Structure 1
């Protein structure tokens, strides 16, 4: 096993940048986070490989900004596996590509049954990659040698994988489709912050009453603030189930809260005053939350459509069936042919009058790529007509 070294000084960093710049061909890039351990989604290790240069393992907390490296490679093609997962943390430190080849996405478009990096490497290169450290706490210092070897192999083989996938894309006539998808991934904007994020507490559906919801809100907010301050994943301080248990138990004193058996977690007792103050704020607030979340543009779950909008339900079901055949003919997963959310939105509120041009415009407005529109628009229009007819016939039979 090669002795891997983590670059954590400016001198080593600048020397590595020079070597990478003098390499040739595309640049493989990967990042390791500490999801589930830390509050932030920052990168705790960044790996880079380029032919003629080799593998470089960088320590982002020690180095800080990577603008010099970005300037050296920004106009090259960056190979990233599942780029949508890594681009945010790379951009946070100044790494922002102008061209991307996403090996996971390429595998999906080619209809590979498994698209995890280990599976793709094994299928295309015949090399088995152990993936036992994928969920490790990469904020650990020093990083174990076995972890570094794992991280290095994630990029060391990526250029060879890219070359194989590119050949397959050309042979299957999907090269342009892939380019459009890669660019869409690169340009995708971060999701807007969720309204009332505390409502995502697991188990909150069992909580009744505005006052109890207020306690839940204050407990979630206190945990989030403490987790952010300490850069610890919120659930590692106190899990959701413990917060909901407090809400349901309705303790009336700090001592009662401390005695609650279901209130668990590393910070449940060490920071008892934080949780009790949150409970008191919830119990005494003059601004309890509404029982239901504020209206938003979130569509109801598809299982409720048959009652809430039977016409849309019929359109959606007909379109799903027809698009499944399109996906099979292209050997591309249905969700990559057209995202479920895009189809749901067009089915819920189709353009009027219904036409290929109008539906195409609606799909484009929702972010569908040119190839997706070309592959699906006529099928969607035909399915919507069929769905409307079925809904109309059902209404007549019931009246």
Structure 2
């Protein structure tokens, strides 16, 4: 078996840069993080492959400056699978492409039934990839050879996959659509930090008491501070379910907290003073969180029929029309049009609801031009049909 070397010295890095710049064609790129193990989402291994150059496994924890590599390859096409998952951690170390080809997104646009890398490689190249290390702790040092082989294979086949997918996109008339989608992924703005990130606690939406929510908030903040300090995934310290169990039971003493059977996790007892202090803050604070969080999003569609029958009719008919169009284009409906965009336009349509005005509304929400061209007229037609159906129903009732 080939011995894979991790690039971590200046000399090895310089040689890798020289060879990558001398290579030919697109550059396949991937990154491995330690999600579920570490708090940060930094890259712990960056893999690159280029024809006539070879495969390179960089350790970004040991390489202080990627600027020479960035300067040499940023204008080349980078091939990534599910690029949105890796771009942030690549940018964190100064690696940022001018253009990309996203093999996962291309597979979606082509209507492939399974779009994971292993499935796409097997369908297009007839090669079966093992995915046993996809959820490993990539902050481990030294990295085992079996992990490095897995990481290398993730990029060594990507250029071949890109060529096959690119040819299919051209054959199906979807090449320009794909380019617009790739560009949208590349330039998508990062989501702003949540105003109240503690509300991401799994299961918290069922909690209806401000006092319980206050305890949940303080526990989440205490856990987050410790996780940041230790660079450990929060759930590995104390699971979400344990924090919710404490917030629901509202223990009145430190001992009651320690005796709560549902309160577990590796740091649940070793950091008991921390958790009890958080519980006390939640029990005594006058800064109680709101049970309902204001939102500009439409209500859940199941409530539309009672609250806004015409909006309900608009959504049902437009959703069916968009689904039919997606089937004709042989792609998932969510790639043809983001479901939330359709819901928002159906709930609050433009005054005239023409194809042009609906298209402008969709663009304002973030839809791409090709999506607007494919859907704005059929949505407008569905809205007209919905208005007529509601009017007919009202006439029949009277």
TM class by shorter chain equals over 0.9
Q: CA separation in 2, counterparts of 1:107 and 1:205?
A: 35
Match of 1:375 in 2: 374
Q: CA separation in 2, counterparts of 1:207 and 1:358?
A: 40
Does the Cα contact within 8 Å between 2:45 and 2:60 map onto a contact in 1?
A: yes
Match of 1:12 in 2: 12
Q: CA separation in 1, counterparts of 2:82 and 2:35?
A: 16
In the alignment, structure 1 residue 268 sits paired with structure 2 residue 268 = yes
Does the Cα contact within 8 Å between 1:207 and 1:247 map onto a contact in 2?
A: no
Q: Deviations over 1:145-178 (max 9, x none)?
A: 1110000000000001101111111111111111
**Cα distance, 1:379 vs. partner?**
0.4
- Say which SS state the counterpart of residue 75 (structure 1) adopts: coil
- Say which SS state the counterpart of residue 79 (structure 1) adopts: strand
Match of 1:318 in 2: 317
Q: CA separation in 1, counterparts of 2:211 and 2:115?
A: 46
**Cα distance, 1:397 vs. partner?**
4.8
In the alignment, structure 1 residue 160 sits paired with structure 2 residue 160 = yes
- Runs of at least 5 residues in structure 2 that lack an aligned partner in the other structure: none
Match of 1:187 in 2: 187
- Say which SS state the counterpart of residue 131 (structure 2) adopts: coil
CA 314–101 in structure 1, closer or farther in 2 if over 3 Å, else same: same
Q: Deviations over 1:234-266 (max 9, x none)?
A: 111111111111112221121221111110001
Q: CA separation in 1, counterparts of 2:188 and 2:323?
A: 25
**Cα distance, 1:304 vs. partner?**
2.3
Q: CA separation in 2, counterparts of 1:305 and 1:359?
A: 20
- Say which SS state the counterpart of residue 101 (structure 1) adopts: strand
- Say which SS state the counterpart of residue 88 (structure 2) adopts: helix
- Runs of at least 5 residues in structure 1 that lack an aligned partner in the other structure: none
Q: CA separation in 2, counterparts of 1:73 and 1:138?
A: 25
- Say which SS state the counterpart of residue 256 (structure 1) adopts: helix
Q: CA separation in 2, counterparts of 1:369 and 1:208?
A: 39
**Cα distance, 1:398 vs. partner?**
5.3
Match of 1:296 in 2: 295
Instruction: Report runs of 4+ in structure 1 exceeding 6 Å deviation.
Output: none
CA 395–217 in structure 1, closer or farther in 2 if over 3 Å, else same: farther
Q: CA separation in 1, counterparts of 2:391 and 2:132?
A: 54
Does the Cα contact within 8 Å between 1:66 and 1:93 map onto a contact in 2?
A: yes
Q: CA separation in 2, counterparts of 1:203 and 1:377?
A: 37
Match of 1:344 in 2: 343
Match of 1:105 in 2: 105
Match of 1:334 in 2: 333
Match of 2:356 in 1: 357
- Say which SS state the counterpart of residue 319 (structure 1) adopts: helix
**Cα distance, 1:208 vs. partner?**
3.6
- Say which SS state the counterpart of residue 131 (structure 1) adopts: coil
Q: Deviations over 1:65-111 (max 9, x none)?
A: 32221111000000000111111111111011001000011111111
Q: CA separation in 2, counterparts of 1:163 and 1:128?
A: 18
Match of 1:93 in 2: 93
CA 395–92 in structure 1, closer or farther in 2 if over 3 Å, else same: farther
**Cα distance, 1:137 vs. partner?**
1.0
Q: CA separation in 2, counterparts of 1:278 and 1:181?
A: 45
**Cα distance, 1:310 vs. partner?**
2.3
Q: Deviations over 1:261-302 (max 9, x none)?
A: 110001100111110000011111121112222x12233222
**Cα distance, 1:64 vs. partner?**
3.3
Match of 2:133 in 1: 133
**Cα distance, 1:194 vs. partner?**
2.1
Q: CA separation in 1, counterparts of 2:364 and 2:223?
A: 38
Q: CA separation in 2, counterparts of 1:301 and 1:92?
A: 37
Q: CA separation in 2, counterparts of 1:197 and 1:103?
A: 32
Match of 1:33 in 2: 33
Q: CA separation in 2, counterparts of 1:122 and 1:73?
A: 29
- Say which SS state the counterpart of residue 217 (structure 2) adopts: helix
Q: CA separation in 2, counterparts of 1:370 and 1:29?
A: 28
Match of 2:220 in 1: 220
Q: CA separation in 2, counterparts of 1:70 and 1:166?
A: 25
CA 140–249 in structure 1, closer or farther in 2 if over 3 Å, else same: same
- Aligned pairs, how many? 398
In the alignment, structure 1 residue 309 sits paired with structure 2 residue 308 = yes
CA 248–176 in structure 1, closer or farther in 2 if over 3 Å, else same: same
Question: How much is the aligned-residue C-alpha RMSD, in angstroms?
Answer: 1.3
User: TM-score, structure 2 length as denominator?
Assistant: 0.97
Alignment of 1:110-125 (within 5 A): 110-125=110-125
Q: CA separation in 2, counterparts of 1:193 and 1:100?
A: 26
